[in-house]
Structure 1
Amino acid sequence: MDSPHILVLGAGSAGKRHARNLRALGCRISLFDPREDRLREAATEGPVSSSHSNLDAALGAHGYDGFVIASPPVFHVDQVLTISARHQRWILCEKPLSITAAEARRLEPVAGRVLLGYTYRWWPPLERFRARLQAGEIGTLHTLRFVMSAHLADWHPWERYQDFFMANREQGGGALLDESHFIDLMLWLAGWPTKVYAQVEKISALEINADDNVDILVSYASGLRVNLHLDLLGRPHERSITAMGDGGTLAYVYEENAIKLGR
């Protein structure tokens, strides 16, 4: 049996990371990106069956076994629909699925074949973190706190941050949409809330038109309270989850890839 052939849409940092992972799993890779320079750069990292700067040409070049969409979010909905019209295969789409809920609803007819790239749920330390909470290691859970803080200029040091899609609200950039990993983790750890209050703002001198600071307060019927803080400003970078209960505090610190228990 031939190894699976996957078309990766987008040859930026996320697309190249997906391509590396898929090669490590034994897949064959083809690439689409409208920028020829990115296609050339991605091809230096490993074997590429074919490269295309035109999506129609890419979709017609092979009978693919699956697709990965790693383009800027503004393109996600149209690319999912374009692929689905020609290939009845699974699609892994990077988050966010769409910039707006209205656009996302266009995908309802094909949603059964679309996977969303909220990959933190499958990170073994976070699986263990969740299992320890569910086992009651710190007793009744009262608060959860999520922090993601990382200066935008450090994300892609090889390019001007002003040229990165994260700087552009119209392309789906900004702290809220890109770091929605932590909203997904909140739902995974605590379920669906009853009340949500959020401030989504641009408060810094960064040369961007997208939000760079997000604070979300969430309430649950059980009495649980959750705080999420996301920003594009912090140095040093910080990503953490802290859970506080009657019997102690359990924290996951991303930079150390460690779970810590405080009594």
Structure 2
Amino acid sequence: MKVLVIGAGSIGSRHAEILKNSVETAVVEPRDDLRHKFETSSGLKTFSSVAEARNWLPDGVIVAVPTDKHEAVIRELACFHGPLMIEKPLAATRTSVSNIMKIVQNRPTPTFVMANMRCHIGPRMLKENIGKIGKVFSAYSNFGSYLPDMRLGIDYRSIYASSREKGGGVLLDCIHEFDYLNWILGASTLRVAALSRISDLKIDVEDHATVVLSHVSGAISTVELDYLQRVKLRGCRLSGHEGTLIWQSLGKKPENIKITLLKSGSQIPDVLFEGGYDLNTAYESYLAEYLKVIGGKSSSVLLSADEAAKESNLLFDILDANCVRAGTQKLQENKT
């Protein structure tokens, strides 16, 4: 089995390093410096373009270029017929989402979007144990990390997350929170949202977002995201008729995780998991599901392109409300 990874940046390199342990792997990277550096460090075969990789005949292709480049790369992949995996989010604009969906709907094999948090021990154990708390009434999900620390040694102002044009901003960047809530509680619609740029970071996107959703299960969820936490924080609380499930994650490499179940009538929580966790485990599990599909099997875990398009368009609905522009203008006025 052969898998081609498009892009040798941080995420593309991660995917390739994981995949090379189980399948034949190659990487496309147009930048000479990045390509040579990756080839030297990984020992993997590399190509300078999609066209150059055509005769390598991969069984699957992973698109791991910056979000605003997704559409252009996917157009180039018409000659590859194996299952396609696209890094999250699907696209940087609503128009690009529509264009990508027109392309992938004409492909002979399925297209998926990277949603590795579905395989993370936190959301996975919440989903596995949700039956223990009865009907779920509400959920609170949070993610926070300090933007300048996202890529060590790289100026945060140059990365995609800092730029609206490149598909950045904490809302689109942290689409995982919306996806795993939909995975656990069912599809959602928007109730209310507030986006702000409240820090002094040199960015043209929101660094804080609060979103309230209604799910088809009847649950209401609140999602809070930010680029402001000096220590990475992540977690989710599910409140049900018969108890509460809580997942808390602190730090990274490793994450310090605690998952507890509080049953109605008991003051002592059941600890379902406590300890360190390597995020690579979630990536490995998700990519293993993708390899199963390439091999002709099915997967109930992978995020389909159709589902990803709906999730992206929900977030574009929020952005189209001009919350960011209004919040940014107010911030600038307050500083003058």
Cα distance, 1:194 vs structure 2: 4.5
Residue identity in the other structure for 1:262: L
Q: Equivalents in 2 of 1:221, 1:125: separation in Å? A: 22
Residue of structure 2 in register with 1:24 after alignment: 21
Residue segments in structure 2 that go unaligned for 5+ positions in a row: 250-254, 264-336
Cα distance, 1:125 vs structure 2: 4.6
**Is the alpha carbon distance of 1:236 and 1:50 closer, same or farther for their aligned partners in structure 2, counting shifts above 3 Å?**
closer
Q: Equivalents in 1 of 2:80, 2:5: separation in Å? A: 14
What pairs up with 1:136-215 in 2 under 5 angstroms? Answer: 137-215=132-210
- Counterpart of 1:64 (choices 55, 58, 65) is 58
Q: Equivalents in 1 of 2:55, 2:217: separation in Å? A: 53
Judge conservation of contact 2:245–2:260 (CA < 8 Å) in 1.
Answer: yes
Q: Equivalents in 2 of 1:227, 1:206: separation in Å? A: 25
The runs of at least 4 aligned residues of structure 1 exceeding 6 Å deviation read none
Cα distance, 1:223 vs structure 2: 4.6
Judge conservation of contact 1:195–1:220 (CA < 8 Å) in 2.
Answer: no
- Normalising by the residue count of structure 1, what TM-score does the alignment of the two structures yield? 0.89
Q: Equivalents in 2 of 1:201, 1:39: separation in Å? A: 37
Residue of structure 2 in register with 1:101 after alignment: 94
Q: Secondary structure at the match of 1:170?
A: coil
- Counterpart of 2:82 (choices 84, 89, 98) is 89
1:66-94 per-residue CA deviation (whole Å, 9 max, x = no partner) reads 111111100112211210x2111211100
Residue identity in the other structure for 2:62: V
**Identity, % of aligned positions:** 26
Residue of structure 2 in register with 1:114 after alignment: 111
Judge conservation of contact 1:150–1:231 (CA < 8 Å) in 2.
Answer: yes
Residue of structure 1 in register with 2:41 after alignment: 45
Cα distance, 1:221 vs structure 2: 6.2
- Counterpart of 2:73 (choices 76, 79, 84) is 79
Residue of structure 1 in register with 2:214 after alignment: 219
1:184-239 per-residue CA deviation (whole Å, 9 max, x = no partner) reads 11111111235432223322111111221111011346652210011111122101
Q: Equivalents in 2 of 1:213, 1:69: separation in Å? A: 28
Q: Secondary structure at the match of 2:172?
A: helix
- Normalising by the residue count of structure 2, what TM-score does the alignment of the two structures yield? 0.70
The reply to whether residue 34 of structure 1 matches residue 30 of structure 2 is: yes
> Considering only aligned residues, what root-mean-square deviation do their CA atoms show, in Å?
1.9
**Is the alpha carbon distance of 1:17 and 1:224 closer, same or farther for their aligned partners in structure 2, counting shifts above 3 Å?**
same
Residue segments in structure 1 that go unaligned for 5+ positions in a row: none
Residue of structure 1 in register with 2:126 after alignment: 129
Q: Equivalents in 2 of 1:96, 1:195: separation in Å? A: 18
Q: Equivalents in 1 of 2:27, 2:215: separation in Å? A: 44
Q: Equivalents in 2 of 1:193, 1:90: separation in Å? A: 27
Q: Secondary structure at the match of 1:131?
A: helix
Q: Count residues with an aligned counterpart.
A: 254
Q: Equivalents in 1 of 2:65, 2:10: separation in Å? A: 10
More helix, by proportion: 2
Deviates more, 1:178-187 or 1:157-166: 157-166
